[in-house]
Amino acid sequence: MAGQRVSPDSLSGVGAFVAVVRAGSFTLAAERLGVTKSAVGKSINRLEERLGVKLIRRTTRRLQLTFDGEAYFQACSVALDGIAAAQAQITPYDQVLRGRVHIDMPMAFGKSVLLPILLEMAAPHPELALTMSFNDATVDLMRAEADLVIRFGRLPDSGHLVARKLTSQERLICGSPGYLQTHGVPMNLSDLNGHRCIVGTTHGPPQQWTVQDGGQVTHITPPATHQLSDGESIVETALAGFGLCQMPVSLLRSHIEQGRLVPVLQAYSGVLVDIHILWVRQSALAPRVRYVIDQLMECAERGELD
């Protein structure tokens, strides 16, 4: 009833009721709540007596919600999820972060940039365990085991995912000095047709390159002389003199500074690619997962991921 005051006693049994419906049995709900099956049954009986309605029909085979029980479950389920989300937002991290966080990352960027940062943030928390997987394939977060996924480029169109932008990086086209000496330096985009190029695969890095031409951002398909499924291998193949590649600047910077790679077509380069961290939308994040997200966002703000 609108305006009716809710006393603390009136909330007794609500958690048990929601747990039973979600578990589908009194036994499983009792295990999850850490109490006896009898205690769960008595709690729900008292809730039904207090409400004056039957919420659950108990049969020998399964549980069935009454009409009132279905409506009450929907309202209580949303309310409890909201409370859990609020607690996650206002509760500080535990003094001791416990448990495992699985982060899936692009191979080259993950190993060269993210790995040292993640190890440093985990060091003060010996009971925080990390699982780090490295690949450049498209990941279905709804099916993946990872808690967090970091990816370059476009995001999947999904209401089930939460995404936070970490940073943006320039894409550069590069070749080794030896390759350029043998094959020449391309001066415009049409020159690429006469060059050997190193691109990604269908489920890996892009097969197209993103460039700016006449002030417009466009996608071109260079000759796919060599196709590799991860960015680290693409860079290594370019370093070995097998062709030109286009990759984010963080994967090329040290090689350019050491003279092992040379940027080309710079008038057409410099288009930014966004880097995001993604996770499945849920009512509340575990403190250990929230800690990793917050730390990575702070690193991004300090420019450590550029």
Domain extents in the chain: 8-90, 96-306
pLDDT tens-place string over residues 236-283: 999 999 999 999 999 999 999 999 999 999 999 888 989 999 988 775
Residue 297 phi/psi, 5° resolution? -65, -40
Closest CA to 166 of 150, 144, 147, 148: 150
The per-residue pLDDT for 88 is 56
Question: What are the residues facing 171 on neighbouring strands?
Answer: 248
Asked which of 97-101, 169-173, 176-180 is least confident by mean pLDDT, the reply is 97-101
pLDDT digit string, tens, across residues 1-25: 444 455 555 577 888 898 888 878 8
Q: Identify the weakest region by mean pLDDT among 56-60, 121-125, 276-280.
A: 56-60
Average pLDDT, the chain: 86
Indicate if 96-306 has the same CATH topology as 8-90.
Answer: no
Dist CA 288 CA 128 (whole Å)? 7
Q: Is 20 left (phi over 0), alpha (psi -120 to 50) or beta?
A: alpha
The CATH code belonging to domain 96-306 is 3.40.190.290
Distance CA 113, CA 215 (A): 31
Q: Is the pLDDT of residue 96 over 80?
A: no
How far apart, in Å, are the Cα atoms of 199 and each of 30, 174, 189, 226? 54, 12, 16, 6
> Which residue has better confidence, 94 or 299?
299
**pTM greater than 0.75 (yes/no):** no
Q: What architecture is domain 8-90?
A: Orthogonal Bundle (1.10)
Q: What residues have CB less than 8 Å from 289, skipping those under 6 apart?
A: 101, 147, 148, 279
